[in-house]
Amino acid sequence: MLNALLMIDSAMLIILTLLQGGKSDGISGAFTGNGGLNLFANVKERGSEKVISNITLGLGVVFFILVIAIRLV
């Protein structure tokens, strides 16, 4: 039962992570130096971005709890 929940949670977590927009130039910007690398930029999430981010965070916490629960059982 817990394994099925973990697979569903994993699939939803992957889908929501792919739906999120990019918040930086990516790893290529770090190597090439284009645009500067500002790791601590204050970027406000609004609307659907905030909802998707919060759901992703919640699913990540559930994933962590499920993995620990499976390991203990």
Indicate the burial class of 59 (C-beta count within 10 angstroms; 0-12, 13-18, 19 or more).
buried
**pLDDT tens for each residue of 13-25:** 999 999 987 766 5
Angle at which helix 48-72 crosses helix 2-19, to 10 degrees, equals 150
Name the pTM for this structure.
0.71
pLDDT tens figures, 31-64:
555 555 566 666 677 888 899 999 999 999 999 9
